[in-house]
Structure 1
Amino acid sequence: MKITEIEIFAIRLPLHEPFVISYASYDDMPSIIVKLTTDTGYVGYGEAVADDHVTGESWEGTFAVLRHTLAPILLGENPSRFGKIHEMMDQAIYGVPTAKAALDMACFDAVGKAYGIPAYNLLGGRYHEKFPITHVLSIASPERMAQEAADRVASGYGSLKMKVGTNVAEDVERIQAVRERVGRKIAIRVDVNQGWVNSATTLQAMKQLENCDLDWLEQPVKADDIDAMVEIKSKIATPLMVDEGLRGVREMREIIAKRAADKVNIKLMKCGGMYPAMKLAHMAEMAGIECQVGSMVESSIGSAAGFHVAFSQKSMTSVELTGPLKFSKDVGNLYYDVPFIELNEKPGLGIDVDERALEELTVRKEKVTL
């Protein structure tokens, strides 16, 4: 089996409502879909959702890298040689994990279909049976976030993730308002997306939030300031999670060595796909650190790939892959049984891609053939 064709689609996924986090507001989500075809007729899909603030990649740049650098070198290669595929991509270009993730996913999807097995069986087999789904609250006024939280709890959600990070005083009010509204039994996770910048600001905020019983605090400081995470972890009782500060093996080694976090958020777009994510999960497990598979707000394709990693790894204790629930139109049919998700046993990523919807949402496409 070898790769004979790779198609690249630049698309924009429409959101039900704007998604607001500390450093950006999205009216729709720019994404890139790759479609990989083998000489045996199997097709695999992958996805790249670039984030300039996290990996330094843009939507336009990722499309160009896929078209001119990465896709051409994979033509003629066996997609089941996951380690070799990544070595070739790493030798061709440094970094660009989002672009590499799209091709990585497409390989897992195609190979799973060829072998007739789910992608998680290519990652060690299924470990978890199901995961609870967490609703993500984008940044708004305290009153609006509290109301949305109450509405979601009423619909069955048992956990909430709050996006904050624009203003510390207002963030404290937001968190306190949501906790007061939903009560003590609902799990609340707080994601600052680097917005509190440094340890001093973070510690001041957390002192005011001591009575809020937070599940964990995620990435309050700048991504590269691992030492600030060490200081914060030593001075608060709330579990601390690294997100933007973890991209690949180098950062994971530093986090483990310095005991900089209780949890890590592994995202396929940050580390380069399913194969590197599996390796990071193994490192975390050996160090006794819990893992989560997080989201860059991907479609059913990228979200399904993340779920296959999460379901196959023992160290995974939570998932936050709710992109498809935020879109008014998607390119796939990943199924959620809120407040849980249970993967099917279909081969590959286990989803069907709607070619008509893909064409409708596409603003640019290219094809690379053998």
Structure 2
Amino acid sequence: MIIQSIEIFKIELPLIEPFVVSYATYPNMPSIITKLTTTCGIVGWGEAVPDEHVTGETLEGTFAVLKHHLAPAVIGENAMNFEALHEKMDAAVYGVPAAKAAIDIACFDAVGKKLGVPAYQLTGGRYHEKFPITHVLSIATPEAMADEAARRVDMGYTSFKMKVGRDVASDVARIRAVRERVGEAIAIRVDVNQGWVNAANTLQAVRQLEQLNIDWLEQPVKADDIDAMVAIKAKTTIPLMIDEGLRGVRDMREIIAKNAADKVNIKLMKCGGMYPAMKLAHMAQMAGIECQIGSMVESSVGSAAGFHVAFSNKAFTSVELTGPLKFSKDIGNLHYDVPFIQLNERAGLGVDVDEAILAELTDESVVVS
């Protein structure tokens, strides 16, 4: 299982509708796809979706660091040696988790295919049978968000992740409008994406939200302000989730030590792939913290990788990997039984990549061997 070559594709995935969060609007979703080939002829697919505001990486920088540093560092290495591969990548470049995820995911896909087992068998074996899919509501007017939520309820969805983070007053109006439209039986999770900045603003909001039956409040303050999360957690009954504030082991240690969150959102793009994600999940599980697998809005490749991690560990109680449902054209064929996801039993990630569509969406590519 020696890595012989890695082909790197810079692409843009077309969205059905623009994706709007507190810090940006995405008309399309830029992504990096990796095609890893071993000396025995097995191909593994990986993906990186960098985000300047979350992972600290740009699309162009991710393409370059894969081309010049990470891919050369792992050529000639055994794709089965996940710990050693990450050590090689960490020695080559500090940080750049999304770039490392592109290689990590491709290795899991290739190794699963070599052994003839789904990737989740490499991360603990099947634990969950299926997960409900949470629909993500982009920031819009209260009326527009409530209308979309109502349409999705009619389609069978039972939970929503609401993107907010513009200002407290308008955000509370958005949340209240959706709750009034869908009723009390539908789960609502609120994701601020750091938009309320600090504890003072957040506490103004939570006083108005505590009567609205919110499942949890996600990352209301700046990513590095763990102490603000501690202060908020002490003054609200709404469960708190950390997202942008959790990137790796060091952050998780601080979150656990300070009892800064009830839940954590683990994303492969923030931590470096499937192997590091499992390490974070084990840390959280030992501390009694529930986990979610989240997404940077990835294609079928990155989304499938996240699902394989979530399905193999009981610490994961929710998933938010809906990228393929948001694209008008995808490179892969990850299948959703909306409003659920049930993984197939195929080897590796269980996803076929349409290389004709990949070529159509590619802006730039290179082969490293």
Q: TM above 0.5, one fold?
A: yes
Determine the structure 2 residue equivalent to 1:7: 7
Asked if 1:22 corresponds to 2:12, the answer is no
Cα deviation, residue 245, structure 1: 0.2
Matched position secondary structure for 1:64: helix
TM-score, structure 2 as length reference: 1.00
Cα deviation, residue 85, structure 1: 0.1
Matched position secondary structure for 1:235: coil
Determine the structure 2 residue equivalent to 1:43: 43
Matches within 5 A, 1:232-311: 232-311=232-311
Aligned equivalents of 2:296 and 2:27: distance in 1? 14
Amino acid aligned to 2:45: Y
Amino acid aligned to 1:126: R
TM-score, structure 1 as length reference: 0.99
Matched position secondary structure for 1:211: coil
Aligned equivalents of 2:142 and 2:124: distance in 1? 43
Determine the structure 2 residue equivalent to 1:320: 320
Amino acid aligned to 1:258: K
Determine the structure 2 residue equivalent to 1:367: 367
Deviation by residue 1:155-183 (Cα, 9 ceiling, x = unmatched): 00000000000121100000000000000
Aligned equivalents of 1:326 and 1:168: distance in 2? 27
Aligned equivalents of 1:216 and 1:167: distance in 2? 18
Matches within 5 A, 1:222-241: 222-241=222-241
Determine the structure 2 residue equivalent to 1:356: 356
Aligned equivalents of 2:357 and 2:313: distance in 1? 32
Amino acid aligned to 1:129: E
Aligned equivalents of 2:322 and 2:256: distance in 1? 28
Deviation by residue 1:275-301 (Cα, 9 ceiling, x = unmatched): 000000000000000000000000000
Equivalent residue pairs, number: 369
Matched position secondary structure for 1:261: coil
Overall identity of the aligned pairs, in %:
75
Cα deviation, residue 71, structure 1: 0.3
Cα deviation, residue 8, structure 1: 0.1
Deviation by residue 1:247-298 (Cα, 9 ceiling, x = unmatched): 0000000000000000000000000000000000000000000000000000
Matched position secondary structure for 2:234: helix
Deviation by residue 1:206-252 (Cα, 9 ceiling, x = unmatched): 11112110000000000000000001011000100000000000000
Matches within 5 A, 1:36-115: 36-115=36-115
Matched position secondary structure for 1:161: strand
Deviation by residue 1:7-36 (Cα, 9 ceiling, x = unmatched): 000000000010000000000000000000
Determine the structure 2 residue equivalent to 1:342: 342
5+ long unaligned stretches in structure 1: none
Cα deviation, residue 124, structure 1: 1.0
Matches within 5 A, 1:212-223: 212-223=212-223
Amino acid aligned to 2:210: E
Amino acid aligned to 1:363: D
Amino acid aligned to 2:33: I
Cα deviation, residue 52, structure 1: 0.0
5+ long unaligned stretches in structure 2: none
Cα deviation, residue 303, structure 1: 0.1
Cα deviation, residue 203, structure 1: 0.5
Aligned equivalents of 1:126 and 1:45: distance in 2? 21
Aligned equivalents of 1:37 and 1:164: distance in 2? 41
Aligned equivalents of 1:200 and 1:349: distance in 2? 43
Aligned equivalents of 1:9 and 1:52: distance in 2? 19
Amino acid aligned to 1:87: E
Matched position secondary structure for 1:250: helix
Deviation by residue 1:52-77 (Cα, 9 ceiling, x = unmatched): 00111000000000000000111111
Aligned equivalents of 2:210 and 2:242: distance in 1? 20
Amino acid aligned to 1:178: V
Amino acid aligned to 1:25: T
Cα deviation, residue 341, structure 1: 0.3
What RMSD over aligned residues (CA atoms) do the two structures have, in Å?
0.4
Amino acid aligned to 1:316: F
Deviation by residue 1:317-349 (Cα, 9 ceiling, x = unmatched): 000000000000000000000110000010000
